Chains A and B, each alone.
Chain A
Amino acid sequence: MFAPNEPLTPPGGVFDEPWQAQALALADTMVQEGYFSAIEWANALGIALREAEAQGVSDTLVTYYSAVLVALERLCEAHAGISSDDRARRRADWEAAYRLTPHGQPVEIRTSRIASSPKG
């Protein structure tokens, strides 16, 4: 059941999807920057993994990285001031940008407008 002989030399292809690398990169960078500690990160990830197990979610890499994302969102809210409301607004902006951006153009949001938009 375990894959015993994965090759020694990944480099390249170590992440199934780019968002997985981005999530870990963001988490580790925020640890380096001191927003939360490595212990807080491990505990938050452990809790998210246990929650997934308790829900009976399949034991896959997708489940693992989903837990990474849950832990990251919680720690960003608790220690870096990124609330769920902030996330909801920003996500809506990205979704609108994806729908409205002409094909072939890079999808971008105007962060200056976002930054100045009223909260709540």
Chain B
Amino acid sequence: MATFDGEKAAALHRELHTHLPSDPAMRVKTLESLAIERGLVAPESIDAWIEAYSEHIGPKRGAKVVAHAWTDPNFRKRLLDNAADAIKDFDFQGSATGHLKAVENTDNQHNLVVCTLCSCYPFSILGMSPAWYKSAEYRARAVREPRKVLEEFGVILPEYVGVRVWDSTAELRYIVIPQRPAGTDGWDADRLATVVTRNSMIGTERDLTREPA
């Protein structure tokens, strides 16, 4: 009995170790280990990046920027003039936002952001892009039929509201400044930031409410 169990355990052991990581996981592991071994990248840099984007950097940053634009006219002007420079006030600058443009929604204009080429996105203030932003369907249709895409997000635009679609590139990325919701007079920037949604800063949401995002 003991012998049988031992053989069984050994077989199970061998079986467990034939379960390699998935093909893409092995390919990344392969590249990463070569890059580290050759001194191309430091393992600490990779770890720090993953921790930052998994745990710390997300759309709350963009919400803070938007809320300050709503409450501070001077900051709003600086943000619209040169967003890459203005976000340095919060130390939110990063590799993907070296050139950043803020575009403001108005009563008559709505702004929608896409990257038709791949998935360029202002990571350092919005974090990782949502799954739909990376999809071929969104990248193709946002330019071709923006109103229909917006409808699918639940945004029905009146005829008098124009849509401007901004196509992001590696060199120029965008953040939409949504309109401040009604009934928030007297709110400070911290409180206002709680109602700013990620999608509103991409342009796939328009009318914010007093409800926290």
Contacts and interface: CB of A to CB of B under 8 A. Distances in A.
Given A8-B60, A10-B59, A29-B45, 18 more contacts: A1-B152, A6-B130, A8-B213, A9-B59, A19-B27, A25-B50, A42-B117, A42-B170, A45-B117, A59-B137, A69-B24, A73-B27, A87-B34, A94-B26, A98-B20, A103-B13, A111-B37, A114-B37
B78 interface: no
Contacts of A82: 31, 34-35, 38
Contacts of A86: 34
A64 B119 contact: yes
B30 A91 contact: yes
A64 B34 CA distance: 23
A3 B131 contact: yes
Given A2-B138, A3-B130, A91-B30, A43 B35 contact: no
Given A10-B128, A49-B118, A82-B35, A4 B199 contact: yes
Interface of B: 13, 16-18, 20-22, 24-35, 37-38, 40-41, 45-46, 49-50, 53-60, 63, 95-96, 115, 117-120, 123, 127-128, 130-132, 134-138, 149, 152-154, 169-171, 196-199, 204-205, 213
A31 B56 CA distance: 21
List the 6 shortest-distance A-B pairs measured between CB atoms, nearest first: A42-B170, A8-B213, A38-B170, A46-B117, A25-B49, A45-B118
A21 B137 CA distance: 23
A49 B127 CA distance: 21
B63 A8 contact: yes
A87 B38 CA distance: 13
A42 B118 contact: yes
Query: Which bucket holds chain A's interface residue count?
Result: 35 or more
Interface string A7-48: 111111011011101111110111111010111011101100
A101 B17 contact: yes
Nearest to B60: A9
B40 A33 contact: yes
A80 interface: yes
A84 to B, nearest CB: 11
Given A29-B46, A37-B170, A23 B131 contact: no
A66 to B, nearest CB: 6
18 contacts: A3-B130, A4-B199, A6-B131, A6-B199, A15-B54, A18-B25, A19-B27, A22-B29, A22-B50, A32-B95, A38-B171, A42-B170, A45-B119, A73-B27, A76-B34, A95-B20, A99-B20, A114-B37
A3 to B, nearest CB: 6
B26 A43 contact: no
B198 A22 contact: no
A45 to B, nearest CB: 4
A87 B31 contact: yes
